[in-house]
């Protein structure tokens, strides 16, 4: 699979990573190379093979419905780059 | 079928609903933080909910149980194997950058909801699926001119997304669907259905077509938070789409918003971009496996649901479908009614509950839980009618006083001296007095003017301040006038 | 007391028990050693005050007769483990200034058992790399690099991603270090630096509080100078954690007790597919030597087949980036770490993540985003999950015929910084022998087995059945003793 610049720009946007225009070409080359490498999997017959969900052969464990966490607003906000009045703050979002 | 009249003829609206119902639980779906509504911002947030590095989800068993209970209540298929997926997108109030949801393998499959329409008829709407997912946080846009404030208290609270088939054809049906679903959820105790607090929200899919034609392109109206708005938004959106098509335009599949001040739908700017959610099974969680016995145990604890209750009210109490509907729509109403009806005339009880009581509650803006007249006291009032202590007419007066004071019917009757006169001697005396005072009218009556009977009854009731037993008055008066 | 830093954990525990020295003395010696090895850039954050404070508390506990299994042992912590109040960076710019308000389960377990923290060690950014050359905090240099310290003739990589852990332990600045292994990040650097590194079975160590790279593969483990030390430290790190849904509720054995040296009758699987084309002769030779050692100890080598081995890397380079692309979405400049402002929220996201992630991380996020995107999911991600199942089946079948598997750890000895850097695929090939066991969730250990013609360490890898770390450790110690590698890095504290 060969990715073009436009596709790389689209993926970068989907991943919310700003990629400088001048790096797109090079990146497209690298990503294409990786995709070509991983496409060797097409050789493997996986007809009825179930996709692996987890290597841990066990059941999903469940918690009791008890309040055991939270209630520490200061700790939650202490690493925040911008906070005010107990909120995280971001540039205005228009819906 | 209710069609909309357009320039080019009839149009049919096609509606499907996705309802997000907040699960009643103490703690969140994947964290131990509290779920209570209205707490200080970010005070019910764990590091898991705020997606700090290295934090991991562990599922709340009760939320699974609630989803299964709801599925059973919707007569739906319970999937013993289901999978939690990540739905990836960036948004201010989605700290993980993904929402843990269920995509290809939801916990609940196909079910149904029976709509009770205003004309007393019923219609079944298919439920496509129900899945569990995390709620997002809340963005506040009005705290600062240039900033959005983020509160993550709601982040991670368990939601059930209940998706309907595109089976509805009018705003009324959509309204009935939401009402019925809310009623079922409340019966089950799985969601409080409080739309004002956002614990139930609707995404409404609307398209229009000429009757008999394939489905048109749909628009999704996001996050509508009242039944009235759901209906208004559908009406508006359908007309908007018809207008566009009739003017030769094309409908763009898009996400829209119901503007609650201008009463229009408008395109959501934040959702303009095409989404690619990149769903994949959450590697922090394993597939959810349910034991059939566990599901059976939940089934055994299901309460009687509105449809069954309605059927029982009709057969057991001989109520009309309409009255039964009104009574079963809320469990508290149905319970109230049954407490009143127990050992009494069920029709009379239904009349009093749906008539006087609901009327007064409505006027006072009160819920049944806040009724000043308890079921026991209303029953007491009906007993007084049944044993002829008071007449139906006096009973209404007594009820009014009960609603104001919360006192027992018997006490009010006693205090106000409203006890019905059943002493035939006293009634006879009154009648004699009335007949004596209106000898001319008696003569007229006897010469064939039957209509005067009512006049005599009125005079007797007036003389006894309404307390005379009407049946006795009729009986004695008839005998005397024939005289 | 320079010799204190050259002790093994077992030796140090002995000395502490015999009151030959105190935990504070042991910590002081290591704090100094940490300073000495600064030219290696192994540490991102040194915590000398914390080390001394913890050592003091340790001495007090020992005095009260409450010594834990790792009482007083100074260790380094890979900077991927969240440590309360101590800067935690994942070697990424995007976590600038992040001080967690919580402590990872694995480090909590270590402190519970008496270990002492020397600081947070360097790694590849978000553990993505095999050479420790992707860290925002600079490359780690292997203490095996030839030449004058600081003016090396060749700057060798320590391997990665746990390069700082490997360098610190090999250079005698810590008795052990925590590592994490997603595709070989414990085993390959252990091999490159001549130390022991074990990745236990997936689910043994809690992932809670460890910055996630690829959730279905990430597993913590110890890096030490001896197999016995690995057994000691592994026991403290493991244990059921109800906060991690993938943590396994199983008792943790006394791994040290498994080191009996008796491997008679044990069937050692030799996978033929690992004899890859172009394998350097000395790698093949050390492997053969390993087989001979085990045979001499009474084990029985059996040839096994793991037919899907050649697809493991490709599988890994779909699964790991896919999970990473989602795991790293939370680094958005809103709640912690770096924020690069922008006019809109979208700009803020893109600027922050554009500036905050290094090139390798960016590459993997983009690959991961692509393979999960609409239209490609089945062709890439789902296909990879299916192949992963087949790789797991291969191992299941192989373990019908053998009790443990022996392979080389890495296809080469350590290379120099600057080599293999232009071609991501070449770099990925470092993990060719370690990735299959990661995909299958199996325990794997690298043990020093010899020294190559370039004077650099060579490691052998042992793979075991799920939750059978005991056999892996037992066989590993047999190799360790037979190999009896005495060479040490030219630069040590």
Selected residues 39-98 of chain B with any CB under 8 Å from a CB in chain A: 40-50, 58-64, 83, 90, 92
Residue C139 covered by a domain:
yes
Residue C21 covered by a domain:
yes
* Mean pLDDT score, B408-433: 85
Considering B400, B416, B432, which residue would you say is the last residue of a domain? B416
Q: Pick the catalytic residue from C50, C78, C199, C420.
A: C78
Q: Pick the catalytic residue from C161, C165, C412, C438.
A: C161
Taking only the tens place, the pLDDT of each residue in C348-395 is 999 999 999 999 999 999 999 999 998 899 999 999 999 999 999 999
Taking only the tens place, the pLDDT of each residue in C432-458 is 999 999 999 999 999 999 999 999 999
Residue A37 covered by a domain:
yes
In which residue ranges of chain A is pLDDT below 70? 95
A-C Cβ pairs (cutoff 8 Å, strict)? 171
C-alpha to C-alpha distance for C44 and C122, rounded to whole angstroms? 5
Query: Tokens 């192994």 identify what position?
Result: C42
Indicate whether B253 and B170 sit together in one domain.
Answer: yes
Contact (CB, 8 A) for C193 and C143: yes
- What are phi and psi for residue B297, nearest 5 degrees? -60, -40
Selected residues 204-223 of chain C with any CB under 8 Å from a CB in chain B: 207-212, 214-216
Selected residues 282-301 of chain B with any CB under 8 Å from a CB in chain A: 283, 285-289
pLDDT band at B447 (very low <50, low <70, confident <90, very high): confident
Contact (CB, 8 A) for C74 and C30: yes
Residue A83 covered by a domain:
no
Which CATH number does the domain housing residue B455 bear?
1.10.10.410
Q: Do C349 and A27 touch (CB under 8 A)?
A: no
- Dihedral (CA of A80, A84, A86, A92) sign: negative
Q: Do A79 and C354 touch (CB under 8 A)?
A: no
User: Which H, E and C letters describe chain B, residue by residue?
Assistant: CCCEEECCEEEEEEEEEEEEEECCCCECCCCCCECCCCCCCCCCCCCCCCCCCCCCCCEEHHHHHHHHHHHHHCCCCECCEECCEEEECCCCCCCCCEEEECCCCCCECCEEEEEECCCCCEEEEEEEEEEEEECCCEEECCCCCCEEEEECCCCCCEEEEEEECCCECCHHHHHHHHHHHHHHHHHHCCCCCCCCCCCEEEEEEEEEECCCCCCCCCEEEEEECCHHHHHHHHHHHHHHHHHHHHCCCCCCCCEEEEECCCCEEEECHHHCCCCCCCCEECCCCCCEECCHHHHHHHHHCCCCCHHHHHHHHHHHHCCCHHHHHHHHCCHHHHHHHHHHHCCCCHHHHHHHHHHHHHHHHHHHCCCHHHCCCCHHHHHHHHHHHHCCCCCHHHHHHHHHHHHHHCCCHHHHHHHHCCCCECCHHHHHHHHHHHHHHCHHHHHHHHCCCCCHHHHHHHHHHHHCCCCECHHHHHHHHHHHHHC
Residue A28 covered by a domain:
yes
Cα first-last separation, chain B: 62
Indicate whether B170 and B127 sit together in one domain.
Answer: yes
What average pLDDT does the structure give for chain C? Answer: 96
**Between vectors from CA B42 to CA C105 and to CA B160, what angle results, nearest 5°?**
85
Kindly report the number of other CB atoms within 10 A of residue B396's CB atom.
Answer: 14
Which of B95, B148, B286 lies at the smallest CB-CB distance from C335?
B95
Q: Is the pLDDT of residue B1 over 60?
A: no
Q: Is the pLDDT of residue B55 over 60?
A: yes
C349 contact residues in B (CB cutoff 8 A): 90
Residue A49 covered by a domain:
no
Residue A91 covered by a domain:
no
Contact (CB, 8 A) for C81 and C322: no
What average pLDDT does the structure give for chain B? Answer: 93
- What are phi and psi for residue B467, nearest 5 degrees? -90, -10
Indicate whether B322 and B395 sit together in one domain.
Answer: yes
Q: Is the pLDDT of residue B97 over 50?
A: yes
How many residues in chain B? 483
Kindly report the number of other CB atoms within 10 A of residue C140's CB atom.
Answer: 35
Residue A92 covered by a domain:
no
Parent domain of C14: 2-258
Pairing of strands C116-121, C74-78: parallel
* Mean pLDDT score, C126-143: 96
* Total of domains in chain C: 1
Contact (CB, 8 A) for C160 and C142: no
What is the pLDDT, as a whole number, of residue C2?
Answer: 47
What helix, strand, coil percent values describe chain C, rounded to 5? 45, 15, 40
C423 contact residues in A (CB cutoff 8 A): 33
* Mean pLDDT score, B189-201: 94
Q: C463 - beta bridge partners?
A: C405, C444
Which of A11, A38, A41 lies at the smallest CB-CB distance from C369?
A11
Indicate whether B384 and B454 sit together in one domain.
Answer: no
Which of C339, C350, C389 lies at the smallest CB-CB distance from A17?
C350
The alpha carbon of residue B112 is apart from the nearest alpha carbon of chain A, in Å, by 29
A17 contact residues in B (CB cutoff 8 A): none
Per the annotation, the verdict on C161 as an active-site residue is yes
**Between vectors from CA C418 to CA C416 and to CA C424, what angle results, nearest 5°?**
110
Nearest C-alpha neighbor of C168 from the set C39, C74, C34:
C34
Taking only the tens place, the pLDDT of each residue in B206-221 is 999 999 999 999 999 9
Residue A79 covered by a domain:
no
Taking only the tens place, the pLDDT of each residue in B129-187 is 999 999 999 999 999 999 999 999 999 999 999 999 999 999 999 999 999 999 999 99
Contact (CB, 8 A) for B395 and B385: yes
pLDDT band at B274 (very low <50, low <70, confident <90, very high): low
Residue C293 covered by a domain:
no
What is the pLDDT, as a whole number, of residue C193?
Answer: 98
Cα nearest neighbour of B85 on chain C: C326
Nearest C-alpha neighbor of B356 from the set B306, B409, B418:
B409
Contact (CB, 8 A) for A90 and C334: yes
Tokens of C308: 């899907």
The alpha carbon of residue A12 is apart from the nearest alpha carbon of chain C, in Å, by 6
Nearest C-alpha neighbor of B459 from the set B430, B479, B439, B426:
B430
Parent domain of A35: 5-43
The enclosing H or E element of C147 equals strand C147-148
Parent domain of B32: 4-298
* Total of domains in chain A: 1
Tokens of B376: 């026991």
C-alpha to C-alpha distance for C171 and C5, rounded to whole angstroms? 9
Q: Do C367 and A34 touch (CB under 8 A)?
A: yes
Tokens of B422: 């059943």
Q: What percent of chain B has pLDDT over 70?
A: 98
B123-129's contacts with Cβ under 8 Å and 24+ in sequence apart are: B123/B173, B124/B167, B125/B164, B125/B165, B125/B167, B125/B168, B125/B173, B125/B177, B126/B164, B126/B165, B126/B167, B127/B74, B127/B76, B127/B162, B127/B163, B127/B164, B127/B165, B128/B163, B128/B164, B128/B165, B129/B162, B129/B163
Taking only the tens place, the pLDDT of each residue in C16-32 is 999 999 999 999 999 99
Query: Tokens 């600062």 identify what position?
Result: B144
Which of A69, A89, A95 lies at the smallest CB-CB distance from B270?
A95
Nearest C-alpha neighbor of C473 from the set C248, C196, C267:
C196
Q: Do C377 and B58 touch (CB under 8 A)?
A: no
Which CATH number does the domain housing residue C151 bear?
3.90.1300.10
Nearest C-alpha neighbor of B33 from the set B169, B158, B213:
B158
The alpha carbon of residue B25 is apart from the nearest alpha carbon of chain A, in Å, by 7
Tokens of B84: 């939690």
Per the annotation, the verdict on C215 as an active-site residue is no
Which of B52, B97, B284 lies at the smallest CB-CB distance from C245?
B284
Tokens of B391: 């007449």
Taking only the tens place, the pLDDT of each residue in B18-45 is 999 999 999 999 999 999 988 999 999 9
Q: B147 - beta bridge partners?
A: A91
Cα nearest neighbour of C100 on chain A: A79
Indicate whether B104 and B71 sit together in one domain.
Answer: yes
Q: Is the pLDDT of residue C337 over 90?
A: yes
Strand ranges (E), C237-350: 267-271, 300-304
Query: Tokens 């935690």 identify what position?
Result: C88
Indicate whether B394 and B473 sit together in one domain.
Answer: no
Q: Do C242 and B58 touch (CB under 8 A)?
A: yes
Q: Do C216 and A57 touch (CB under 8 A)?
A: no
Residue A33 covered by a domain:
yes
C-alpha to C-alpha distance for C161 and C184, rounded to whole angstroms? 8
C-alpha to C-alpha distance for B281 and B104, rounded to whole angstroms? 10
Task: Give how far the C-alpha of residue B247 lies from the chain's centroid of Cα atoms, to the nearest Å.
Answer: 39
The alpha carbon of residue C114 is apart from the nearest alpha carbon of chain B, in Å, by 23
What is the pLDDT, as a whole number, of residue C443?
Answer: 98
Indicate whether B294 and B325 sit together in one domain.
Answer: no
ipTM surpassing 0.95: yes
Per the annotation, the verdict on C32 as an active-site residue is no
């Amino acid at each position: 699979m060969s990715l073009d610049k436009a596709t790389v720009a689209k993926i970068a946007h989907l991943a919310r990573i700003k990629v400088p225009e001048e790096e797109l070409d090079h990146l497209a080359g690298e990503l294409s190379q990786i995709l070509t490498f991983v496409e060797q999997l097409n050789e493997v017959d996986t007809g009825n093979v179930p996709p692996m969900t987890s290597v841990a052969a066990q059941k999903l464990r469940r918690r009791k419905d008890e309040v055991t966490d939270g209630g520490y607003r200061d700790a939650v906000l202490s690493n925040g780059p911008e906070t005010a009045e107990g909120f995280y703050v971001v540039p205005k979002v228009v819906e | 079928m209710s069609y909309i009249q357009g320039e080019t003829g009839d149009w049919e609206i096609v509606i499907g609903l996705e309802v997000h119902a907040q699960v009643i639980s103490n703690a969140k779906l994947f964290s131990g933080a509290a779920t209570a509504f209205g707490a200080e911002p970010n005070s019910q947030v764990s590091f898991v909910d705020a997606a700090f590095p290295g934090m991991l989800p562990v599922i709340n068993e009760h939320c699974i149980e609630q989803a299964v209970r709801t599925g059973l209540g919707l007569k739906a298929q319970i999937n013993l194997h289901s999978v939690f997926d990540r739905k990836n997108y960036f948004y201010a109030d989605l700290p993980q950058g993904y929402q843990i949801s269920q995509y290809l393998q939801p916990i609940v499959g196909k079910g149904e909801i029976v709509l009770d329409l205003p004309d007393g008829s019923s219609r079944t709407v298919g439920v496509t699926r129900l899945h569990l997912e995390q709620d997002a946080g809340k963005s506040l846009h009005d705290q600062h001119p240039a900033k959005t404030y983020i509160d993550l208290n709601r982040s991670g609270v368990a939601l059930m997304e209940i998706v309907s088939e595109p089976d509805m054809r009018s705003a009324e049906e959509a309204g009935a669907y939401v009402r019925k679903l809310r009623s079922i959820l409340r019966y089950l105790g799985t969601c409080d259905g409080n739309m004002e607090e956002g614990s139930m929200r609707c995404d409404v899919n609307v398209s229009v077509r000429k009757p008999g034609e394939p489905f048109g392109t749909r628009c999704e109206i996001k996050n509508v938070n009242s039944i009235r708005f759901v209906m208004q938004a559908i009406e508006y959106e359908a007309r908007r789409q018809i207008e566009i098509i009739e003017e030769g335009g094309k409908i763009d599949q898009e996400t829209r918003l119901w503007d609650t001040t201008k009463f229009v739908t408008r395109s959501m700017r934040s959702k303009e971009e095409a989404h690619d959610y990149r769903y994949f099974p959450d590697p922090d969680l394993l597939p959810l496996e349910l034991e059939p016995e566990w599901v059976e145990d939940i089934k055994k604890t299901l309460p009687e649901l509105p449809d069954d209750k309605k059927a029982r009210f009709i057969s057991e109490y001989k109520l009309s479908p309409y009255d039964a509907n009104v009574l079963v729509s809320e469990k508290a109403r149905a319970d109230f009614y049954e407490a009143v009806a127990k050992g009494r005339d069920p029709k009379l009880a239904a009349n009093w509950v749906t008539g006087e009581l609901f009327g007064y509650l409505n006027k006072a803006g009160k819920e049944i839980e806040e009724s000043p007249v308890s079921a026991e006291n209303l029953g007491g009032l009906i007993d007084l009618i049944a044993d002829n202590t008071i007449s139906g007419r006096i009973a209404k007066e007594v009820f009014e006083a009960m609603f104001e004071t919360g006192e027992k019917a018997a006490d009010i009757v006693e205090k106000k001296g409203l006890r019905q006169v059943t002493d035939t001697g006293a009634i006879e005396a009154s009648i004699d007095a009335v007949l004596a005072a209106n000898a001319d009218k008696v003569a007229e009556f006897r010469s064939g003017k039957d209509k005067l009977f009512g006049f005599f009854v009125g005079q007797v009731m007036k003389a006894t301040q309404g307390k005379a037993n009407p049946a006795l008055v009729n009986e004695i008066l008839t005998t005397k006038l024939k005289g | 007391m320079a010799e204190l830093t050259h002790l093994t954990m077992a030796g140090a525990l002995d000395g502490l028990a015999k009151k030959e020295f105190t935990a504070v003395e042991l910590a002081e010696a290591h704090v100094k050693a940490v300073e000495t090895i600064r030219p290696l850039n192994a540490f991102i954050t040194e915590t000398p005050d914390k080390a001394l404070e913890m050592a003091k508390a340790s001495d007090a506990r020992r005095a009260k007769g409450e010594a834990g299994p790792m009482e007083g042992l100074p260790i380094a912590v890979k900077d991927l483990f969240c440590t309360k109040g101590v800067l935690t960076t994942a070697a990424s710019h995007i976590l600038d200034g992040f001080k967690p308000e919580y402590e990872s389960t694995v480090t909590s377990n270590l402190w519970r058992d008496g270990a002492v923290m020397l600081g947070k060690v360097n790694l590849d950014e978000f553990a993505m790399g095999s050479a420790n050359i992707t860290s925002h905090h600079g490359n780690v240099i292997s203490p095996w690099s030839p030449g004058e310290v600081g003016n090396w003739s060749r700057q060798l990589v320590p391997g990665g991603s746990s390069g700082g852990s490997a360098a610190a332990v090999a250079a005698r600045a810590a008795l052990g270090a925590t590592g994490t292994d997603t595709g070989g990040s414990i085993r390959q650097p252990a091999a490159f630096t001549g130390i022991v590194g074990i990745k236990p079975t997936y689910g043994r160590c809690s992932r809670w509080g460890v910055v996630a790279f690829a959730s279905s593969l990430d597993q913590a483990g110890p890096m030490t100078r001896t197999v016995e030390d690995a057994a000691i430290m592994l026991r403290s790190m493991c244990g059921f954690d109800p906060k991690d849904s993938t943590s396994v509720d199983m008792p943790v054995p006394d791994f040290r007790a498994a080191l009996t040296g008796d491997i008679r009758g044990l069937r050692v699987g030799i996978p033929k597919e690992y004899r890859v084309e172009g394998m350097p002769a000395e790698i093949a030779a050390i492997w053969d030597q390993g087989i001979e050692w085990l045979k001499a100890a009474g084990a029985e080598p059996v040839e096994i087949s793991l037919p899907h081995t050649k697809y493991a890397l490709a599988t890994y380079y779909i699964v790991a980036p896919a999970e990473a692309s989602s795991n790293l979405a939370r680094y958005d400049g809103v709640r912690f770490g770096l924020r690069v402002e922008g006019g809109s929220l979208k700009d803020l996201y893109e600027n922050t993540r554009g500036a905050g992630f290094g090139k390798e991380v960016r590459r993997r996020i983009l690959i991961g985003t692509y393979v999960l995107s609409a239209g490609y999911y089945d062709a890439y991600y789902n296909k990879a999950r299916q192949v992963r199942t087949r790789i797991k089946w291969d191992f299941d079948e192989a373990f019908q015929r053998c009790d443990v598997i022996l392979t080389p750890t890495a296809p080469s000895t350590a290379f120099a910084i600057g080599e293999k850097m232009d071609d991501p695929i070449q770099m990925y090939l470092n993990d060719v022998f370690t990735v299959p066991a990661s995909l299958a969730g199996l325990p794997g250990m690298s043990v020093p087995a010899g020294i190559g013609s370039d004077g650099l360490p060579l490691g052998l890898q042992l793979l075991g059945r799920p939750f059978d770390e005991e056999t892996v450790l037992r066989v590993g110690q047999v190799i360790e003793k037979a190999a009896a590698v005495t060479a040490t890095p030219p630069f040590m504290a």
